[in-house]
Every structure is written in structure tokens, then in C-alpha cells.
Amino acid sequence: MENEAGALSRVAGLFSARGYNIESLTVAPTEDPSMSRMTVVTRGSEEIIEQITKQLNKLIDVIKLVDLSEDEHIEREMALVKVKAEGDAREEYKRLADIFNGRIIDVTETTYTIELTDSGDRIVEFITAINTDEIIETVRSGVSGIARGEKSLHP
């Protein structure tokens, strides 16, 4: 979409005005600074997804839109999870982070902050694997998506 002030609120406003769900939304400029790329994760019946697609395409700021889930694609999301890490738990979280290909990026005497980049589903699995009481806070970036192979959004 056009990298214009207000473009994001047009998309967000459309979803709330028409009663569609947004599970996550990420947006940032591309290699061409006049364009931003947005990934929206939403759910709905086939008819609803069709309407969402059409309504988004109608927004003047939207240059091109594809439904990535129609084809092979890659989804990635980053999560930062800060956990209480004392005593035996320190070793346990180290192992858990390794299993999920996460990295411990900040260490104090009592906490770890673990970074994990994976599909949204994997991140949910990781968070579920940790005892909720032990989580101090969680930050998730929302999903970014891209088609597999040579396909791209560029015309």
C-alpha cells in the first residue's frame, strides 16, 4: 500500500466498521520507501474473506492485495517472552528455548528474555509450554507473510 499517513487507519477502520476480526496486523515500509507492506491475519467464512478482500481492494491506498493462504506461503512472527528464571528453572528455560530454536537475549539474576521467530502457531505452542505464572510479559510482533517460490506482490 501507499506509505501515506492515515493508510493504516483506513485499514483498521474498515475492519471495525464492517465488523471483521483482525487477529494481527503488521506494517512497515518496503525496499521502495513510497510503499508499505502490510500483513493482516483474519478469520471468516469464504464469503466474509471474499468481502474483506474486495473491500480492502477498494481502499484508494491499497496498491495490491493477495490472499496468501490460497497458496504456499511462509509466515513468520517474532515473540519476546520475559520469564522468571531462578534456580532449576534457568536450565529448564535454556533447554526449552533450544528446542524451539529460540535465543536468550537478555539475562539478569532472576529473569531471562527469550526471543523466538517462527510461525504464529509455533509461538503459541512455545508460550503454552511455559507455566503462565512464570511469564512476566510477552510481546508478539504479529505475523508477516510472503509467498513461496518466485511469486511476489509486484506486478
**Interface residue list for other proteins (CB under 8 A):** 1-2, 5-6, 9-10, 13, 17, 47, 50-51, 54-55, 57-58, 60-63
72 φ/ψ angles, rounded to the nearest 5 degrees: -65, 130
Q: How far is the CB of 104 from other proteins (least distance, A)?
A: 41
Q: How far apart are CA 66 and CA 73, in angstroms?
A: 11
**Whether the Cβ atoms of residue 8 and residue 27 lie closer than 8 Å to each other:** yes
Grid coordinates of 86? 531462578
Please list, in sequence order, all residues whose beta carbon lies within 8 angstroms of the beta carbon of residue 40, skipping any fewer than 6 positions away.
11, 15, 22, 24, 25, 56
Q: How far is the CB of 95 from other proteins (least distance, A)?
A: 49
How many Å separate Cα 4 from the centre of its chain?
21
Please list, in sequence order, all residues whose beta carbon lies within 8 angstroms of the beta carbon of residue 92, skipping any fewer than 6 positions away.
none
**Whether the Cβ atoms of residue 68 and residue 127 lie closer than 8 Å to each other:** no
Rg value, the chain, Cα: 19
Q: How far is the CB of 61 from other proteins (least distance, A)?
A: 6
Q: How far is the CB of 37 from other proteins (least distance, A)?
A: 13
Q: How far is the CB of 88 from other proteins (least distance, A)?
A: 52
